[in-house]
Structure 1
């Protein structure tokens, strides 16, 4: 198991959502390994409504994955 992702199992939906955000952030970090480049790009996309909507979509997909892994907390 990876040190940063021991499990997709969470106690609550809120924890699951936080995990979905972390999954999304780690995907960016692993695909763009340069802290400097990520910081430079962040200044561009943080003011771009379409980019922010795209980020929301990625988080939503990851949240759906986490929710399924947790049996939708039922």
Structure 2
């Protein structure tokens, strides 16, 4: 949500199981360097839509595996 400045929100996730079929789950992870600056994408910002989040380094939020 930081990268898109809150424009795109994560959907509510719900699982419906089926006793006749196996369930498959996938995890997707992104690993960034601790010095990577994370901030809203400049192309999604304008006078009507200022940044909602401050930029920060990944290591300050715990996103890195350094």
**TM-score normalised by structure 1 residue count:** 0.25
Relative CO higher for 1 or 2, CA cutoff 8 Å, sep ≥ 6? 1
**TM-score normalised by structure 2 residue count:** 0.26
The structure with the largest strand share of the pair is 2
The structure with the largest helix share of the pair is 1
